[in-house]
Amino acid sequence: MTPELKDRIDNLIKQNKIFVFMKGTKLMPQCGFSNNVVQILNTLAVPFETFDVLSDPEIRQGIKEYSNWPTIPQVYIDGEFIGGSDVMIELYQNGELQQLVEVAIAS
């Protein structure tokens, strides 16, 4: 990964309390897993931003190296990598996600 690409990814994550690298946009997800994440965050009624990895092959590949996680979507809360769709569903169901989001937004 180039230093420039790492800086681009760093900046996207740091500029937003909740950030999702996904296929499509939060208004029009392009895969079921990305849609799951969007629906969970919408249910929590929290502000979040997304990046459509389909629009940028460099970031699509780079984010996998950055996080050492092979799949999309990838969710970051308060700069920390949380996981993908399965992790988000699990955290939502056990109540941990609500706590993570509340702490991030309050900080």
For the chain, what are the domain ranges? 3-106
Burial code (b: 16+ CB inside 10 Å, e: under 16) for 37-63 equals bbebbeeeebebebbbbbeeeebbebb
Q: 29-61, pLDDT tens digit by residue?
A: 999 999 999 999 999 999 999 999 999 999 999
Architecture of domain 3-106: 3-Layer(aba) Sandwich (3.40)
Q: 82-92, pLDDT tens digit by residue?
A: 999 999 999 99
Average pLDDT over residues 70-99: 96
